[in-house]
Structure 1
């Protein structure tokens, strides 16, 4: 017998189908790409519930202000918006953050 065993044909066929399924799921899958998108700077009002507490002039001043908020224990985020850097906090922390930045 010089033919190919039917079990080998079945396994090769299943392997080809499995590879095609993986490639098609990767190609047509939504929202999960292996290639990271370039971040887009949004407007300061596009950050949901976060409130702007400071609009530093440059990145160095923004990092200094961020250090002040970190030292005070205020949860914050430094955002590069289309209008320049912004320090943003949750609304409950806004008053405390503003007071901490005014003290220093």
Structure 2
């Protein structure tokens, strides 16, 4: 009887420790709107895909990683935050 009680107490303690260690589900809620692009930030928005691709080509030629995202008729030029300031300067020229 005492062996069973000791085993039950140990399993209960193990369950509490595991719940404490792995029980917090802090994962981000998925974005179902399509407006969250993770680390990418918008540097420009163009009305046509050709204009956005031309600007992306200018950025890529300067060594800046860029991508074009099309949503709702607008074409967004996206870059990483570390490249945002340099990309804005390059696109102003």
Q: Same fold (TM over 0.5)?
A: yes
1:42 alignment partner, one of 21, 28, 34: 34
Whole-Å Cα distance in 2 between the matches of residues 61 and 89 of structure 1?
A: 16
Q: Where in structure 1 are there 5+ consecutive unaligned residues?
A: 1-40
Decide which structure has greater strand share.
Answer: 2
Q: Counterpart of 2:7?
A: none
TM-score (norm 2): 0.60
RMSD: 2.0
Whole-Å Cα distance in 2 between the matches of residues 97 and 51 of structure 1?
A: 11
- Tell me the number of residue pairs that the alignment of Structure 1 and Structure 2 aligns: 62
1:8-87 pair list within 5 angstroms: 42-43=34-35, 46-82=36-72, 84-87=74-77
Q: Where in structure 2 are there 5+ consecutive unaligned residues?
A: 1-32
Whole-Å Cα distance in 1 between the matches of residues 89 and 73 of structure 2?
A: 23
**Structure 1 residue ranges, 4+ long, deviating more than 3 angstroms after superposition:** none
Whole-Å Cα distance in 1 between the matches of residues 51 and 34 of structure 2?
A: 20
